[in-house]
Amino acid sequence: MKKIIIGILVIVVIVVAAFILMWSKNSEPKFRTEKVVRGDIVSTVTATGTMNAVTTVLVGTQASGTIKNIYVDFNFPVKRGQLLAQIDPATFEAQVEQAKANLLVAKANLEKAEASLVDAKRTMDRNRELFSRNLSARSDLDTAETNYDLAKTQVNAAKAQIAQSEAALKVAETNLRYTRILSPVDGIVVSRNVDVGQTVAASFQTPTLFTIAQDLTKMQIDTNVDEADIGNIKVGYDVEFTVDAYPELTFKGKVSQIRIAPINVQNVVTYDVVVRVDNHDLKLNPGMTANVSIIVASKKDVLKVPNAALRFTPAEKGIAKTEKKGSGVWLIENSKPKFIKLTTGMSDGNYTEFISGNIKEGDEVIVESLSKSKTQPQQGPRFF
């Protein structure tokens, strides 16, 4: 009987000890940790933008009329001076012929005025001879001299009429030339906005017939950068970006211009940062949306800690923690969190460089608590 009682007591002691041990283990706080690692940190400013050709020329027309012929289409390579389209020239050709006829009339009027001048001079000379011999009155001589002066004026007027007709002919010929739409640059046709038979009117505003990208091997991205980040960006900074057409590729460029003209959309101020891109393989097309990362600073082979570790603060009841002052992380020491103060440097959004502190590469730092805080107050009923 005594042995049975002793055996029961031993079993009870073992069960109680096991229960206490399990309870103590379950009561210990649980955390998720990450290692302090060594690597590169790149600080970037992110933005979105649109791919554009560096030089885009809008080809319009100064002549109004009906499109008679179109000689190029989308994606056509063109040379400077190449004929792109033809406006019906019939009306302009008639205007040129009319201007030529007016010029001929003006030249005929000059010949007539010169003949009248010769006749007026002979009459004036004859009256001077007769007056010197007292064979005519003074009034006849005065009339002859006046007619001579008028004849000289008519000659000058006829010459001016010729100059005016020649100018009108040049205008008509220029308008006729404007019916031939020529490419102003070497490039490729990005868009064609007219069709054969369409009427274009250039009276009030020059219509755009074609859009020509001068050189698609060199592109630029016009990005919208927030005013809070614009002070960190300088001309010449390296840029990495992706486009939806090639999500697996990362393209590179450089900041070429920071335009100081603000863009205000619903009280959000941004600035246009222009990024120059080499497009020798012609993968990038105008209009593509680019997800841009402008590299403002970078460091290689530095110790870095997760940003989540810098934000973590334990809240479990009964943990004796050092008063947290400044930036730092928490380590697990003797199954309890211990605060380590750090001097930090630059950050890339996920990791932060630490310059000095009592930690080393490979140390585990706490980033998250996996156990529910026992000091967290219970929520009472809500009243709405």
Angle between helix 138-178 and 90-132 (nearest 10): 170
**Cα end-to-end distance, the chain, whole Å:** 67
The Cα–Cα gap between 301 and 303 comes to 7
pLDDT by 10s per residue, the chain, length 384:
666 777 676 676 676 666 665 554 455 557 888 888 898 898 899 999 999 999 899 999 988 999 999 999 999 999 999 999 999 999 999 999 999 999 999 999 999 999 999 999 999 999 988 888 888 888 888 999 999 999 999 999 999 999 999 999 999 999 999 999 999 999 999 999 999 999 898 776 778 899 999 888 999 999 999 999 999 999 999 999 999 999 999 999 999 999 999 999 889 999 999 999 999 998 999 999 999 999 998 888 888 889 888 888 877 555 545 555 668 888 887 778 888 888 888 888 888 888 888 888 888 888 888 765 444 444 444 433
The Cα–Cα gap between 99 and 198 comes to 28
Q: Are 84 and 185 in contact (CB under 8 A)?
A: no
Q: Which of 63, 122, 119 is nearest to 91 (CA)?
A: 63
Backbone angles phi, psi at 133, to 5 degrees: -95, 5
Backbone angles phi, psi at 382, to 5 degrees: -95, 140
Beta strands in 54-179 (DSSP E): 56-60, 65-70, 77-78, 83-87
* Per-residue model confidence (pLDDT) at position 35: 87
Contacts of 116 (CB under 8 A, 6+ apart): 151, 154
* Per-residue model confidence (pLDDT) at position 321: 52
Joined tokens for residue 364: 């585990």
* Per-residue model confidence (pLDDT) at position 380: 41
* Per-residue model confidence (pLDDT) at position 362: 86
* Per-residue model confidence (pLDDT) at position 313: 83
Give just the sign of the alpha carbon dihedral 243, 247, 253, 255.
positive
